[in-house]
């Protein structure tokens, strides 16, 4: 049985200017999360920690961060755990690379840093071969040049780059057909910050995702524990290690009073929550929320919040009649009604929808301009 812990994209040293005063704390949180990963590796007694690139966010790292990383690798050494790691596209190998200053392999003899060309490292006592390729000056490379022969009973790989997507042209794309052709027991991938599978058994390839929150639209926060009882039988188990929790919420506000919407969102909030909220549905003027006010209120209780209002205002006949003709909205309403009166019956629902959408856009624009002037 071989036991591995797969991580990637920690991005130590990332600045997080968008977080304002919380940016410095979250930068330190990345270090705390890495220490938690080392704790997990020691507790699970893994044979090897796989780091599939972008351990550092950039080459500009202080000595304190580099010393911290060496300290964590030495903790693993004391526990008999080895490390196989790659440079990613953010901390790639080459002139001025952070790895030249980090002196990782010099200080930590349990660490193997793969070069920019495909390389095989055999751990004889484990009967395990690890093939890997760091990102170098030429950028991510495809897997076609990797060796195909198996030099040990178990074989795993490490790569950093984007998986192939139909219609998307990217240098060094990792194609599922190439993954399967290698015949590895497991391929540890880095670059994408949300954990996901690229190929399944018997040649599974996974992105571990970022272990800690880095940006909106990315469901980060986990690492992957891999157990391989026999060749071709890898068992993949995600483990949560991140402190911050990203959650995307779509809330249909149709028929809901503003207080109910606020209460529902407040129930999701806490100091470590990262909420990405989209308001949908239709509202009447009496139900209308102030999205900016709601976002500011949630920001006081959440670590990070983004609110997008995609709800639409729906006005009954009396409300539409109340708009004076001299206003832009009033003139638009009358023009659309005149058009609807002469339209075929099958087009009238479309024109009614267009009327409501148009009035909503006009009112939202007017509210936005008023807020900007304030």
**Residue with structure tokens 């080392």?**
38
Q: What pLDDT does residue 372 have?
A: 44
Q: What pLDDT does residue 353 have?
A: 73
DSSP type of residue 127: T
Q: What pLDDT does residue 155 have?
A: 97
Q: What is the mean pLDDT of residues 33-54?
A: 98
- What CATH number has the domain spanning 2-240? 3.60.21.10
Least confident of 34-43, 72-81, 167-176, 358-367: 358-367
Tens of pLDDT, residue by residue over 275-328, are: 999 999 877 766 667 888 889 989 999 999 999 988 877 666 776 777 887 888
Q: What is the mean pLDDT of residues 89-99?
A: 94
- Say whether 101 sits in a helix, a strand or coil: helix
Q: Where are the domains of the chain?
A: 2-240, 245-313, 322-373
Kindly write down the DSSP assignment for every residue of 249-292, as one continuous string: EEEE-TT--HHHHHHHHHTT--TTEEEEEEEESEE-GGG---HH
Tens of pLDDT, residue by residue over 185-212, are: 999 999 999 999 999 999 999 999 999 9
d(CA 75, CA 94): 28
Q: What is the mean pLDDT of residues 86-92?
A: 96
Q: What pLDDT does residue 307 have?
A: 93
Q: What pLDDT does residue 363 have?
A: 66
List Cβ neighbours of 144 (8 Å cut-off, separation of 6 or more): 178
What is the band of 93 on the pLDDT scale with cuts at 50, 70, 90?
A: very high
Q: What is the mean pLDDT of residues 348-356?
A: 78
Q: What pLDDT does residue 310 have?
A: 85
Q: What's the mean pLDDT when you consider all of the chain? A: 90
Least confident of 13-22, 150-159, 220-229: 13-22
d(CA 46, CA 40): 9
Q: What pLDDT does residue 366 have?
A: 52
Q: What pLDDT does residue 324 have?
A: 85
Instruction: Give the total residue count for the chain.
Output: 374
Give me 132's structure tokens.
């890997």
List Cβ neighbours of 42 (8 Å cut-off, separation of 6 or more): 75, 76, 79, 81
What is the band of 259 on the pLDDT scale with cuts at 50, 70, 90?
A: confident
Of 154, 130, 157, the closest CA to residue 141 belongs to 157
What is the band of 374 on the pLDDT scale with cuts at 50, 70, 90?
A: very low
Assign 3-class secondary structure to 187-225.
EEEECCCCCEEEECCCCCEEECCCCCCCCCCCCCCEEEE
- For residue 367, pLDDT beyond 50: no
3-state helix, strand, coil in the chain (%, to 5): 35, 25, 40
Q: At what angle do helices 63-78 and 22-44 cross, to 10 degrees?
A: 20
Pairing of strands 196-199, 205-207: antiparallel
The Cβ of residue 354 has, within 10 Å, a number of other Cβ atoms equal to 15
């Amino acid at each position: 049985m071989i036991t591995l812990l797969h991580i990637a994209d920690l991005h130590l040293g990332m600045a997080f200017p968008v977080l304002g005063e919380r940016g410095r704390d979250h930068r330190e949180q990345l270090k705390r999360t890495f220490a938690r990963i080392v704790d997990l590796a020691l507790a699970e007694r893994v044979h090897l920690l796989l780091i599939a690139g972008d351990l550092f966010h950039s080459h500009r790292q202080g000595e304190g961060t580099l010393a911290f990383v060496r300290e964590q690798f030495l903790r693993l050494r004391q526990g008999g755990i080895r490390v196989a790691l790659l440079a990613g596209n953010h901390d790639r190998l080459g002139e001025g690379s952070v790895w030249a200053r980090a002196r990782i392999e010099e200080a930590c003899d349990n660490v193997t840093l793969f070069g920019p060309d495909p390389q095989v490292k055999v751990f004889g006592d484990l009967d395990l071969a690890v093939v890997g390729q760091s990102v170098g000056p030429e950028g991510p490379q495809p897997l076609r040049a990797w060796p195909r022969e198996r030099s040990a009973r178990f074989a795993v790989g490490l790569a950093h780059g984007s998986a192939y997507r139909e219609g998307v042209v990217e240098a060094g794309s990792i194609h599922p057909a190439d993954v399967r052709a290698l015949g590895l027991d497991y391929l540890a991938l880095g670059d994408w910050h949300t954990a996901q599978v690229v190929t399944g058994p018997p040649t599974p390839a996974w992105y571990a995702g970022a272990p800690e929150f880095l940006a909106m639209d990315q469901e980060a926060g986990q690492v992957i524990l891999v157990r391989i009882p026999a060749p071709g039988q890898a068992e993949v188990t995600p483990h949560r290690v991140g402190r911050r929790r990203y959650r995307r919420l779509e809330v249909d506000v149709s028929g809901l009073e503003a207080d109910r919407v606020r209460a529902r969102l407040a129930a999701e909030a806490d100091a470590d929550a990262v909420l990405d909220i989209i308001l949908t549905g239709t509202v009447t003027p009496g139900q209308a929320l102030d999205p900016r006010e709601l976002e500011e209120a949630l920001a006081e209780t959440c670590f990070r919040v983004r609110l997008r209002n995609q709800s639409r205002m729906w006005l009954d006949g009396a409300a539409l009649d109340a708009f004076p003709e001299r206003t832009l909205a009033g003139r638009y309403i009358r023009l659309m009604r005149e058009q609807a009166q002469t339209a075929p019956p099958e087009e009238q629902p479309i024109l009614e929808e267009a009327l409501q959408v148009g009035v909503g856009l006009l009112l939202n624009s007017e509210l936005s301009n008023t807020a900007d002037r304030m």
